Structure 1
Amino acid sequence: MVKMGTVWDRTIEVLNGRTGMIAPIAVLSILVPSVIRDGYVAFSTPGTMSFALIGSVLAIGTLVAMLWAQLAIVAIASDPGTDAAAARRQAGARVLPALGITALITLIAALLAVPPVIVLVQSGFDFSAAANGSSVQMTPPTAGAAGFTALYGIAYLLLAIWIGARLVLLNPVILNERRGIGAIRRSVQLTKGLTWRIIGVLILFAIVMLVSTWAAQSVTGIIFRLALGADGIATATFLSGIAATIVTTAFTALAAVFTAQLYVAVREKSVTP
């Protein structure tokens, strides 16, 4: 039986011994692209064609860099014999399949979110007014539409958590087994019998990450606003966002190491007679 406590212990061992290789990858490929993207959004003029185009390019570039970094960290954490150079090569070879699978999953998630939107539109709900905050002009949805949307939203969230738990080994499978779309089925197979334990870990991880990120952003936000004054609110917000991004970068790297060690543990169990 795979024990989550053992997986966490192995994760800490990897971090203690290989942080020197993991940290540069996380900083250069997760933190820096995210800061550049957020900086552009914070200090550019929205609503223009160039803003949308450059913003989209930066968003896609940040996603690709993040996927590459996660794969490289998984490579480092999966095999103690893998050095940083080998990890970068392995990640470079598998980043496009990972990007394609991520795009497919995102598309499916978006399609599954369409039904309540259709129901709300048919009920006369004005999304434009809601987006602009014009509550006076908004036509409230009917009771039936509101009820359906609420129930669908709860079901959607529960399904997303369950699927997230079953696909938690997606990147390790993509990297170590060099699978394409078949990595989805393989991850589901490997996590059989572990779903509830993985869900528990994911929920705990999400709570700790959200609280830590909020705390970092709130504290630094207050400090920067006091230091920069009323005229520097935009800069203060951006700088506090960097603090939050530093925290999320650390948790992203931690998650990659954990999933790699979980994959190793499950793989060892599957080959044990």
Structure 2
Amino acid sequence: MVKMGTVWDRTIEVLNGRTGMIAPIALLGMLLPSVIRDGYVAFAAPGTMSFALIGSILAIGTLIAMLWSQLAIVAIATDPATDAASARRDAGARVLPALGITVLITLVAALLVVPPMIVLIQSGFDFTAAANGRSAQMTPPSAGVAGFIALYSLAYLLVAIWIGARLVLLNPVILNERLGIGAIRRSVQLTRGLTWRIIGVLILFAIVMLVSTWAAQSVTGIVFRLALGADGIGTATFLSGVAATIVTTAFTALAAVFTAQLYVATREKHAVP
């Protein structure tokens, strides 16, 4: 039986012994690309074709870099014999399959958002007015439409949490078992019987990360606004965002180590005859 307490203890052991290997990868693959992307969005002139094009390239590059760094951290955390160089190589070899599966899952999630949007369009909902902040001029949807949207949104959230728990081992499987689309089925297989425990961990992790990120951004935002004055609000907002990204990077690296150890534990469980 897989115990989350044991997985967490093993995660701490990995962090205690291999943080020196993990930290540079997290800084290079998670923090730096995110800061560059956010800096461009914060200081470049919006509303132009070049802004949209460069912004899209940076967003895609950031996603690829983050997938690569997560895979590298998983490699380091899965096998004590793995060094940083081999972890980077293994991650580079598997980043494209990870990207493909990420895009596939994102497309499916986006398609599942379409039905309520169609219902809203048919009910006469004005998306343009809503985007421009003119909600006061809009006719509210009927009770039936509002009820459908509420129930659909709740069901979507619950299903997303459940699927997220079953696919939490995607990266370790993609990296260690060299699977492509089959990694989805393998992750579901490995997490069988652990869904509710994984959901509990995910919810707790999300709460702690959101609170920590909010606190870091709020406190540093106040400090930077006081230091830079009214003329530096944009810069202060960007710098507070960097502080939040540092916190998010730490939690993302922690999550990668945890999922690697959870993968090791579930693989051991399924290997027992």
Q: Does 1:172 align with 2:184?
A: no
The answer for unaligned runs of 5 or more in structure 2 is none
Write the distance in 1 (CA, Å) between the matches of 2:136 and 2:96: 47
Q: Does 1:117 align with 2:124?
A: no
The CA deviation string for residues 25-72 of structure 1, in whole angstroms up to 9 with x for no partner, is 000110000000000001112111111100000000000000000000
The CA deviation string for residues 113-133 of structure 1, in whole angstroms up to 9 with x for no partner, is 110011001101111111111
The CA deviation string for residues 154-183 of structure 1, in whole angstroms up to 9 with x for no partner, is 000000000000000000000000000000
Q: TM-score, normalised by structure 2?
A: 0.99
| TM-fit CA distance, 1:150 | 0.6
The CA deviation string for residues 99-154 of structure 1, in whole angstroms up to 9 with x for no partner, is 00000000000000110011001101111111111123222112111111111000
The residue type paired with residue 132 of structure 1 is N
Write the distance in 2 (CA, Å) between the matches of 1:12 and 1:114: 42
Superposition pairs of residues 87-98 of structure 1, within 5 angstroms: 87-98=87-98
Write the distance in 2 (CA, Å) between the matches of 1:173 and 1:60: 23
Write the distance in 2 (CA, Å) between the matches of 1:182 and 1:4: 25
Q: Please report the RMSD computed on the Cα atoms of aligned residues, expressed in angstroms.
A: 0.6
Q: Would you say the 8 A contact 1:37–1:62 is kept in 2? A: yes
1:200 corresponding residue in structure 2: 200
Superposition pairs of residues 34-49 of structure 1, within 5 angstroms: 34-49=34-49
How many residues are treated as equivalent by the alignment? 273
Q: Would you say the 8 A contact 1:124–1:140 is kept in 2? A: no
Write the distance in 2 (CA, Å) between the matches of 1:104 and 1:135: 34
Write the distance in 1 (CA, Å) between the matches of 2:50 and 2:145: 38
Sequence identity of aligned pairs in percent?
A: 87
2:252 corresponding residue in structure 1: 252
1:128 corresponding residue in structure 2: 128
The answer for unaligned runs of 5 or more in structure 1 is none
1:67 corresponding residue in structure 2: 67
Q: Would you say the 8 A contact 1:30–1:62 is kept in 2? A: yes
The residue type paired with residue 160 of structure 1 is A
Q: TM-score, normalised by structure 1?
A: 0.99
The residue type paired with residue 229 of structure 1 is G
The residue type paired with residue 189 of structure 1 is Q
The residue type paired with residue 237 of structure 1 is T
Partner-residue secondary structure (3-state), 1:2 = coil
Q: Would you say the 8 A contact 1:169–1:263 is kept in 2? A: yes
Q: Structure 1 segments of 4 or more deviating over 2 A? A: none
The residue type paired with residue 21 of structure 1 is M
